[in-house]
Amino acid sequence: MNQRIAFIGAGNMAGALIGGLLADGLPPDKLIAADPNPAQRAALSETRGIETTASNEEAVSGADTVVLAVKPQTLKGVAKALSASVQATRPLIISIAAGIRCERVASWLGGGLPVVRAMPNTPALVQSGATGMYANAAVSSEQKESAESLLRAVGLTCWLEQESTIDAVTALSGSGPAYYFLVMEVMEAAATKLGLPAETARLLNLQTALGAARMALESSEPPQTLRARVTSPGGTTAAALRVLEAGNLQALFDDALAAASDRSVSLSDELGAD
């Protein structure tokens, strides 16, 4: 990728993407970020060495790709204010604002623009993110490659054929880190009740989570097969799993992800209203 990329918003996710792109070898002079917060701009300039500005219009001037990295509640106003500028140059638009559909983003920007909607998650901050992506009909194959290269700088990317499935992505990977943090939290607490020192419980817990994730990533087998391999009949693991299964863990997660997906749909309706 050797395009000029403008970031509108210089918060944590924009910073993570910028860091990933620089680590991939994109020259700093190909990046610019706009943000009204002087501290945010100064931090990016000092740590990343890229150009920053308080003017969104200045940032998008001459940009091949514009990344909308502002809060969903402010996207409408930001996009409408940029409509004349982006209509003049017609860059690829990548929106990472949760809950705003492509149709609405394109409309606020004046219509007819190539828009990719992306749903990254917070592990992107440590280059271990998972991002679901959807492109509207105006996005070319070359632009899809550019968008994928940009988001892949902070982790794994997956293209979605239907925009509606972003709600499921939100429920799974978008909100998913919190589920794993909760599991870590309760396992650590349970281990301390069994007598382990808190720091020991934390270290063993985190390394176990990391190791299990790496085993799953590096294996071609599904999780249920991996689980069966470490579960000896009549052993300690089997005893623990019986308790979890008796608590109907599958139904609990079915309900949890459905609730997250439903909320994603309702947020899209609320945030995308005219």
Question: In the chain, where does the domain assigned CATH 3.40.50.720 lie?
Answer: 5-169
pLDDT at 268: 87
Percent of the residues in the chain that have a pLDDT greater than 90, as a whole number: 93
Domain 174-267: assigned CATH number: 1.10.3730.10
Angle (deg, nearest 10), helices 141-152 and 12-23: 100
**Each residue of 26-58: pLDDT tens digit?**
999 999 999 999 999 999 999 999 999 999 999
Residue 1 has pLDDT above 70, yes or no: no
Question: In the chain, where does the domain assigned CATH 1.10.3730.10 lie?
Answer: 174-267
**Each residue of 218-263: pLDDT tens digit?**
999 999 999 999 999 999 999 999 999 999 999 999 999 999 999 9
Read off the amino acid at residue 180: Y
**Each residue of 77-111: pLDDT tens digit?**
999 999 999 999 999 999 999 889 999 999 999 99
**Each residue of 121-135: pLDDT tens digit?**
999 999 999 999 999
Which pairing describes strands 129-135 and 115-119: parallel, antiparallel, or unpaired? antiparallel
pLDDT at 90: 96
Which is it for the CA torsion 63, 86, 140, 7, positive or negative?
A: positive
Residue 139 has pLDDT above 90, yes or no: yes
Class of domain 5-169: alpha beta
* Alpha helix stretches (DSSP H) within the chain: 12-23, 38-48, 56-60, 72-89, 102-108, 141-152, 166-169, 176-193, 198-218, 223-229, 236-246, 249-271
pLDDT at 194: 98
pLDDT at 83: 97
Give the bridge partners for 33, in sequence order: 7, 52
Q: What is d(CA 258, CA 188) in angstroms, rounded to the nearest whole number?
A: 27
Residues 20/127, Cβ–Cβ less than 8 Å: yes
Residue 271 has pLDDT above 90, yes or no: no
pLDDT at 54: 96
Residue 273 has pLDDT above 80, yes or no: no
pLDDT at 162: 96
Which is it for the CA torsion 153, 267, 182, 9, positive or negative?
A: positive
Provide the 10 A C-beta neighbour count for residue 242: 10
> Average of pLDDT values for 201-216?
97
> Average of pLDDT values for 139-145?
96
**Mean of the per-residue pLDDT values of the chain:** 95
pLDDT at 250: 95
Which is it for the CA torsion 217, 220, 224, 226, positive or negative?
A: negative
